[in-house]
Structure 1
């Protein structure tokens, strides 16, 4: 049984402590937030205002009838001060005998394995076993990281009898969420995230942890992005966690995308977040390639070139979306007449494709070639936007000769330029754009 996903609706409600909105969620949606909700209902509030007391009452009403609440109440009754002392002693002892010499099962004398020992243990011992396993995994990961980053094809997931057993996954996650709140000096959110990345279902557990501490969302995302490298196995794990966190909190998609661009990290995540709003895709990618920041332009250009070789899914998804928009524009252009309402959009997409070819070195496929030539050779209205579109089309034909590498496409382009030669006076009179005449003459086909 996998962990129920954290829905965006429930996360927003928890983030804003909107109990009324949480009350509209079903038990499946509320389940990830139970550790913090139960803790809030039991702790004496710092403020005894009428509003706070009413909020607490609403939380209690929300928790009524949920059986798992009793298990979480038991977790909150553990003596965490005493537990912290014992765990610190265990850590010191491990350092003496070697951090990876004994796994958690042997260390705690669990003869039948850690999973069975966990099932039979009382609540306090369960918390100790989970914390011990986390610290054991943490030490293994630290030793592994000393060897340097691993290649994409390497499997760096740590095997753990406890975390690999899905039957205990919800209970383990509840323990981690409660321990994180009760033992702030012993474990931190970021340390937990860095460890849980390497276990099975790690991304789902991380989402639950962040859901129970919504104020940590930005810090967790920023840390994952700033240390992420998509070309390594570790970076791939971080990418998976970031996708899950972004799905949980879509309202932060733009902020996360900006952080990727600012830090020049995780370009795949940046593009996939951009695809959530296709109307903004052209403007955003154009800004990357044609903006004033040369470092960002170079970084993204390298990503596009390497993604083409590796056939990266994020770049392909962007190309598919751009192709769809390109196809729509061609469909709207009846009899090669570009409607005035679509002229600006058509010019923007031509500008982007030119940048992708000229700066990022993208190679157009057959579908892109045919649709681009069809769009370039449409006949816009004689407006300022139309003149701009024609200028971009001419420049694109000059800069991207591969567009007319096929005889049929070349014939279409020649026919269009001959039309421009005949219509140049019309354009000039209408819009007073004299430079267009020079551009047309410079590319006029020989008779």
Structure 2
């Protein structure tokens, strides 16, 4: 087992990893920018190292500074957390080359799955269904026209190296395709330094379903069921739940087993998530995230498995401590992402937290690094907390979530708590009748 882990991240996820390490008897090293000197993960870690000024580029994305921090503190391993360097194959390689253990998948798998074209080719070869579209990068408008005729409109142009909705455009007809194609390539070049795009059939009303996976160094892979992440704004998840209210037991078992089989065939290790679009009883692979997910919490709530702990265990070379038969699903869980932003305009709201009170009680969990007097910096993502609830049934879970949101107090800054209160009171959400376009359509009418 590792003796000391450097956590190359910040905020609630750094605190989450710290807690798992402490429960395993592992010492932690926090790295931080000057803007995060008073952050909770810095206060609680055994050691801390300042790695640069507030800018992410000069701190949390500064590979030499992170490696130097690991060296001077004598860390055994580096955990990249979520975002920042977590899916950077070059960083993973450098961590390993410098003699540290990398708590994540192999650099090869990060690289393969980080390119959506290569990822699709890889999983198709192992039998996973994908959305109809191009077989690889689309290098000209003429190629795009040909694919549009074959797949049928509307079609979706997506950045091969993309994520978060950047470099993504919909063409509803041939007349719109040329402009959409050029815009997508331009956005992809600006955001990722890579203007390659590919094309998929645009599904009308799909749900976003993802499967949580875990593999070890010995060829064992298990899945932990699915999460429904269909409630999205600008391709960013807002509310997630597990299990999905849209799937039946047969569909759940089928897609879970298929994803685990594919991960096993490619030799995947560590935690990872395969994401699918689901429509009319069919699943279509869209991408694989080679890291811990923000919403891993709801999977933990319905399985009772500490995924971060297991992620650290397999990184030591230990075999999985559980088999597929050991994984049991209990009840229902929902997560609300709480952001420091206005609940209607979505304008970021950094500033000082004047009062903070987290909800509690049976089945309520809050992952957050906030405290009274903490100043939310303006330099990073606006998510400041995750409210996760669990119930024996989806209805019990919804009632508990409503109560927990009422109890949640964050004063001094704007937050998205009022938005969540409105969403979970909508009949469509209560009935589980929504898809990936529902939230934005609802906001146009209600906000």
TM superposition score category, shorter chain reference: under 0.3
Greater share of helix:
1
Which has a greater percent of strand? 2
TM-score by length of 1: 0.25
Structure ID, larger Rg: 1
Q: TM-score, normalising length from structure 2?
A: 0.25
